[in-house]
Structure 1
C-alpha cells in the first residue's frame, strides 16, 4: 500500500471513503497499526493520562511529545503521523512555530492544535513554514478547566454556531484536517458537509469523514471509558485482529453506532 498523505486523505473525503485514525505512542504498536491498514496515527497528549498516570493532559511537555513521536515514526512508514501540541506550547505564534518545528523534526507529518479562530494566525504561519495543521474543536481536553469538565459541546444553538464558525475559520486559515470531539451528531454532520477538508470524529456520530479512538480504549485496557468507545478486543483473537476490526468498522460505517453518539 502506498504512503498516506494529506492529498490522499482529501481524496477519500471527496470520494466519500471513510478512514480510521488511532492514537499510538510507541514503535511496537505503530507497527501493528500500520499492518491493520489504518491511515492515520495521532501521537496524542492523552499519553499524560494513559501512559503517565495523570488525571488530565495538562502536565504533558513538548519533550514528551517529541520523544513519543520519534518512537512512533520509527515503527511505521505508511500512515500519516499527527502529533499533539501540548498545553501551553502554542500561546503565541512564535512559540507555536518553534515547538511545532521540534515535533516535525521528531517525525511528525502534521501537528494538532486545540482551539478556535484565535489560532488562525498561527496556522497561517505554520503553513508558511511547511508545517500542516489539524484543528481540534468541540470538547478540547486542554481547556477542561474552562469548560467545567468533560462535557458535550454544541448542544445550545449559540454554541453550535460558534463551533461551526470556528471550523470554517480554521479551514480558511489553512488547516488540513479537523478533529471534532463530543459534539451532537447533527452538528458534526453539518460541519462535515460545510468543510472541504476531512473531519475526524470522536463522540461525534458516524457522518464525519473519519473516526479516532485512543488505542488503549479500543483494546479494552482502559478501565473506565467514555460512551463513544467500543472495545474491539472483545471477540478478537489478537491485538492485530482488534485493530483490523476497528479499521473495517470505521471504513464500512458500522462504527460508531447510535449508542456511541450524542444527540
Structure 2
C-alpha cells in the first residue's frame, strides 16, 4: 500500500476552508494532518472534505485556539490523544490507518517571544511539552508510526534563513533544538523530509509581517514529517508546497508532503 501524507498548520480551518479544499483537489494527499484548526470538532466543515473523498476524521478541537485534525481517504480509527504538560490544550491526536500505521499529529506550543522560562511562561510551557513528549516516547517506544505537525522548531542551520541572526530567536535557540533532538532520539524518529532533501535551505513558514514574503524569503522549517526507523526507508517524495503560502487568504505555513510505500 502506497499513500501520500501532508501536514499543514492551517491557522483556522473554517476561515481557510477554501484553500484546504484547493489543496485536496490539486494535490490529493491520502491523509492530511491539520494544526491550529481553531475550531470545536463539531464545527469543522466536514461536508466539503467528504465530498472529495475524505470521509474519515479524528480530531481534538478548541474554540478559537489550537486544535488538531487528521482527514483521510483511507479508513482510519482514533488511536490515542495526549495532553502533554497538562496545559488543557488540543495539541495532539493520533489515528491508525487500515495498514496498521499510526499517524501522530502534533501542534507544539510556539513559546512566545522571549526564550527564557523565568520571564516568559509560554517558553516554559513549550519546553515542558517537549519534555513530556520525550518521556512518553521513551516509555512507550512506537513502531510502524509517523509523527507530523507544526513542531515550532527549526532545528538545522539550513532550516532558517540566517542561523546566526536567529540563534536567540524562539524556534531556533539551542535549548529548543536540543529538546527537539531529545524527542527524536527517544524513539529513534527519522526526519523523512531531510532524509529525502539532505542539503540546502528549506522552509515551511514565512511570517505575515514580511511585506513580500516570497522575495524576502526569510523562512523557517517549522513543520516536520518523521517516521520510526522500521518504516523510514519506505518514505520518499518529500516536498514543500511553497505556492500555497501565496494563495488567497493564506496560512503563514505551507504544506509538507511525503509518500510511504508500506
TM-score after normalising by structure 2: 0.39
In terms of fraction of residues, the more strand-rich structure is 2
TM-score after normalising by structure 1: 0.39
In terms of fraction of residues, the more helix-rich structure is 1
